[in-house]
Amino acid sequence: MLKVARLRCVAVCAAALCSASCDSLKEPQKVAVAPASPVGTTVEIKAPLGLPPVPVPAGNRQTAKSIALGRKLYYDRMASGDGTLSCASCHNPARGFTDGMPVSTGFKGQKGKRNAPTVLNAAYSPVQFWDGRAPSLEEQAAGPIANPIEMNQPHEAFIGKLAGNAEYKKLFEDAFGPGPITLQKVEMAIAGFERTIISGNSPFDRYQFGGDKKAMSPAAIRGLALFKDANKGNCVKCHTIDEKYALFSDGKFHNLGVGVNPEGELTDLGRFDVTKAEADKGAFRTPTLRNIALTGPYMHDGSVKTLRAVVDFYVGGGTSNPQLDKEIKELHLSGKEREDLVAFLEALTGDMPADVGPPDSKSDTK
Ligand code: HEC
Ligand code: HEC
């Protein structure tokens, strides 16, 4: 909590915390913790076919040194209290940057209640987590380290370990200039690395944006038409396709009735926990569908095993509950049409980015 308060004050200035010193935003010298900033030449991240430029916040330029540091931190098990888990334990490049489990298993085998989303293309999400509670990759990054059921390591302890490590001390100074290692620098480096974990140029992208009409199979082409047709799949309503690129997410929150128990109750309130608005009960952020064939099982609780089962779930009109989204209703799709939709979803697997696997190892994701 403390960490969030500090960051807000520095970066966002939540009214409640900074009412007296909101000017600190304009006058950074008054801020208790001086904002860090990467040193060195800015590196351009090239967006692959089908994706827009990667959004990079003004305060956290992409540099080769901060990206490399973030990559090392991402794969370092030192981040967890007992040295057993790294970010990659749950966001594993070999599994499309997920863990392939319905819900994640964290510190000493404890299970969370949510499915680990892919980190691939997370840079494009306007907010992070299924319920959108983190406003940026920076603010997301340190959360799992201290979370008792994830990595369970107090931030001070982690910073202490890093500060006592000569190699890290040098890497932080190379990336951010002289000064102590801070949590903010850890967050900035990890977020900077995550912004390089971008995947596009899928068969769909080559078909849709590259003019290669042979890039998708006839079944996938039929599936795309169903995906877009308001009277058939109506999927594009939320999993958006724009004129020049496709994120496959509107970045908004919807209730599909996933996780409604046999008594008709919601087992996870989702977005409601953040906004406390009745209409947000059971609503979750529309996930991207890029690389979806690699990232099962599906939905916020990992309750749906296959893409065919996801399509069948939509055909049935989701699960009834008072907040069910008005766009979710029974679909009229034949067996063949359902297969075509799955073929389309399978055409969304893109190229894996280079240089995002564990550093110092030959096993990259290429
Ligand atoms: C024990 C498993 C586990 C570990 C370890 C873990 N995560 Fe996660 N991660 C999850 C789960 C589960 C979620 C979804 C939680 C939610 O939405 O409430 C998540 C969500 C995220 C998201 C948001 C993605 C999105 O689309 O909303 C990002 C980014 C992320 N993690 C990065 C990291 C980083 C960086 C680390 C290491 C510092 C890390 N994770 C460590 C399980 C884990
Ligand atoms: C009203 C908006 C909306 C519409 C319409 C919609 N989706 Fe979704 N989709 C979502 C949301 C929100 C989730 C996550 C729900 C959850 O976990 O509770 C989701 C989840 C998914 C997932 C699982 C993603 C993952 O990473 O686990 C797939 C696959 C999917 N949708 C495909 C489709 C297809 C195919 C269609 C059309 C038949 C469709 N969606 C229509 C909003 C929508």
Binned at pLDDT 50, 70 and 90, residue 3 comes out as: very low
- 151 CB under 6 A from ligand 1? yes
Residues of the chain with CATH 1.10.760.10: 40-53+60-194, 203-346
Ligand 2 centroid, distance to 286 Cα (angstroms): 6
Residue nearest to atom 38 of ligand 2 (CA): 233
Please say whether the beta carbons of 168 and 181 come within 8 A. Answer: yes
Q: What is the pLDDT of residue 33?
A: 61
For 20-59, write each residue's pLDDT tens digit.
Answer: 333 333 333 444 566 899 999 999 999 999 999 999 999 9
- 239 CB under 6 A from ligand 1? no
Residue 5 clears pLDDT 70, i.e. is over it: no
Q: For residue 152, give both structure tokens.
A: 């369970």
Q: What is the pLDDT of residue 4?
A: 40
Q: Which residues pair with 92 in a beta bridge?
A: 98
- 130 CB under 6 A from ligand 1? yes
- Residue 208 and residue 243: Cα distance in Å, rounded? 9
Ligand 2 centroid, distance to 224 Cα (angstroms): 15
- 294 CB under 6 A from ligand 2? no
Class of domain 40-53+60-194: mainly alpha
For 77-110, write each residue's pLDDT tens digit.
Answer: 999 999 999 999 999 999 999 999 999 999 999 9
The C-alpha angle 37, 191, 47, rounded to 5 degrees, equals 105
Ligand 1 centroid, distance to 103 Cα (angstroms): 11
Q: Tell which phi-psi region holds residue 282, choosing left (phi > 0), alpha (psi between -120 and 50) or beta.
A: left
Q: For residue 366, give both structure tokens.
A: 């290429």
The architecture CATH gives domain 203-346: Orthogonal Bundle (1.10)
Residues that are catalytic = 150
For 228-285, write each residue's pLDDT tens digit.
Answer: 999 999 999 999 999 999 999 999 999 999 999 999 999 999 999 999 999 999 999 9
